[in-house]
Structure 1
Amino acid sequence: MSANKAERVIEIDQICGRLYEERRMRLELMPYRVGYPIFKLVYSAATNAIHNVGLNEASLIISKAEVVKGYYCEKIKTSSSRA
């Protein structure tokens, strides 16, 4: 999945500054393929906050959502030796 597609989903959904439950429902029903991995990420972060820190699910707010492009490595094909 490309970073541009993930950025588009985050911008369309306007994830930042919203309640977790509201954003979770919108991400779950989003028609884009890239919406599901973002949903899993948000769900996992919320579950960790609930179980490890003991926060209430209704009080969770998504403060920041960021997509960073990874490294790009182009393979160089060597030309075959001439006989």
Structure 2
Amino acid sequence: MAYTAKHRFARITARKARLVLDLVRGRDVDDALAMLRFSKKRASDMVAKV
């Protein structure tokens, strides 16, 4: 079953968010959160909340 998570009204462009999302797409949750924690991109904080 596929799930979708959305962060509406995020104050960041889709292109910048997509750069971070491509790093974590398809990974386990723990691995993805670890990568987001050490990423220096601003979008990584928003993606981690979702």
Fold shared, TM-score > 0.5 on shorter chain: yes
Provide the C-alpha distance between the structure 2 equivalents of 1:17 and 1:8, rounded to a whole number of angstroms.
14
Q: Structure 1 length as normaliser, TM-score?
A: 0.44
Provide the C-alpha distance between the structure 2 equivalents of 1:40 and 1:28, rounded to a whole number of angstroms.
11
Residue in 1 that maps onto 2:29: 20
Aligned length: 39
User: What do you get for the CA RMSD once the two structures are aligned?
Assistant: 1.0
Moved over 2 A (4+): none
One-letter amino acid matched to 2:29: Y
Q: Which has the higher strand share?
A: 1
Select the structure of larger CA radius of gyration.
Answer: 1
Find 1:8's aligned residue among 15, 19, 22.
19
Q: Structure 2 length as normaliser, TM-score?
A: 0.68
Q: Which has the higher helix share?
A: 2
What is the deviation of 1:19?
Answer: 0.8
Spell out, residue by residue over 1:5-64, the C-alpha distance to the aligned partner (whole angstroms, 9 max, x if none): 0011112x1x222111011011011101111000111xxxxxxxxxxxxxxxxxxxxxxx
Q: Which runs of 5+ in 2 are unaligned?
A: 1-11
